[in-house]
């Protein structure tokens, strides 16, 4: 009787062990085949954002365990609006564009700085105008409410010229270059390569670039507060892949620019030159930008102040932008080359 009970007990233990192993195997299989969320990220053709094109092509996002869909926008307000309204997860977008996005049920949260303009944007003038101070009483082309408008305002501030002392021709960059060439205006706010090319064509001079100041032209990665709350792991992995791509820029730049050139149908040399005019969004820069009382908070205040001093743009400026370093610091802590 005891022997029969002992054998039954052994069979029960064997059965329970097999059941436990089956549950473990089933759980592991489910987690292996669980669908990975695809992060939808908006961007335009700005050279600083193109690093994400390389990261995608080199499968750096996949190596970090995430899927990414990069969505192209011509209009940056459409881009950031899509993020704040929840139709995509993040936007690569300038700080100034974030500051003017429409009110919604969510608020914008900056989680990374991708680059800062350091020569890529500037002002070209006709022959005879040698400095920003010489712009007093002159006509300058700039699209009001856009980043070039901010470039003009920080240039005027650097030379202590009041915005009301200049007349603005409210046109696109391309149209501004045409008007300058035809002599209808005195200067134009442009970005490279049009900036240097136009100066050469008209025999004029580049009288200011963002390299001359600690520029407010800050390109950021922005999400919504709701997305950040529910996707911290994925956003952290995205930033880790971003740092992987920046490391590639530092160590294998030819490979990076060749990949971007192929995807954007440009010469590799053009891609490399355009990127030269930027401070890259590496770890040291982001530590400076997101530190306690860091540059990003200061730049947000300075930008708002400049734009409120020249209301010709007619835009509403948001005061609820959040600067959140949680996912950035998590990525910095875990990143290794």
Instruction: Give the contacts of 255 (CB within 8 A, at least 6 positions apart).
Output: 248
pLDDT of residue 11: 57
- At 141-158, the pLDDT tens digits run 999 999 999 999 999 999
Comparison of pLDDT for 171 and 316, the residue scoring more: 171
* Cβ–Cβ < 8 Å for 110, 321: yes
Residue 17 confidence (pLDDT) above 60? no
* Cβ–Cβ < 8 Å for 330, 278: no
Query: The whole model's pTM is what?
Result: 0.86
Q: How many CA atoms lie within 13 A of 266 on its CB side?
A: 18
Residue 320 confidence (pLDDT) above 90? no
Give CA angle at 298 (149, 245), nearest 5°: 80
Instruction: Give the contacts of 204 (CB within 8 A, at least 6 positions apart).
Output: 124, 125, 126, 127, 129, 180, 198
């Amino acid at each position: 009787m005891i022997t029969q009970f002992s054998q039954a007990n052994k069979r029960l233990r064997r059965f329970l062990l097999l059941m436990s192993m089956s549950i473990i195997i089933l759980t592991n299989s489910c987690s292996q085949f669980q669908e990975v969320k695809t992060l939808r990220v908006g961007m335009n053709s700005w050279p600083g954002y193109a690093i994400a094109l390389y990261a995608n092509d080199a499968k750096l996002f996949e190596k970090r365990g995430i899927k990414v869909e990069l969505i192209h926008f011509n209009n940056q307000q459409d881009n950031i609006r899509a993020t704040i309204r929840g139709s995509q997860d993040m936007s690569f977008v300038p700080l100034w564009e974030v500051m003017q996005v429409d009110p919604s049920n969510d608020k914008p949260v900056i989680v990374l700085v991708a680059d800062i303009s350091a020569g890529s944007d500037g002002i070209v003038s006709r022959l005879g105008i040698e400095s920003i101070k010489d712009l007093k009483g002159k006509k300058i082309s700039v699209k009001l409410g856009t980043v070039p408008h901010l470039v003009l305002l920080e240039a005027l501030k650097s030379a202590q010229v009041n915005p009301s002392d200049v007349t603005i021709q409210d046109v696109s960059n391309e149209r501004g270059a045409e008007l300058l060439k035809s002599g209808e205006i005195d200067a134009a706010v442009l970005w490279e390569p049009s900036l240097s090319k136009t100066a050469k064509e008209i025999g004029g001079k580049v009288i200011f670039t963002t390299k001359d100041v600690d520029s407010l032209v800050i390109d950021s990665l922005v999400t919504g507060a709701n997305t950040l709350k529910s996707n911290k792991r994925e956003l952290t992995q995205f930033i880790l892949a971003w740092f992987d791509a920046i490391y590639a820029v530092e160590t294998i730049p030819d490979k990076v620019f060749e990949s971007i050139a192929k995807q954007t149908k440009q010469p590799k040399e053009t891609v490399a030159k355009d990127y030269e005019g930027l401070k890259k969004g590496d770890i040291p820069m982001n530590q400076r930008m997101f530190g306690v009382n860091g540059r990003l908070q200061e730049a947000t205040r300075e930008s708002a102040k400049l734009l409120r001093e020249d209301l010709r743009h007619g835009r509403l400026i948001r005061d609820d932008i959040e600067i959140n370093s949680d996912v950035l610091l998590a990525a910095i802590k875990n990143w290794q080359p």
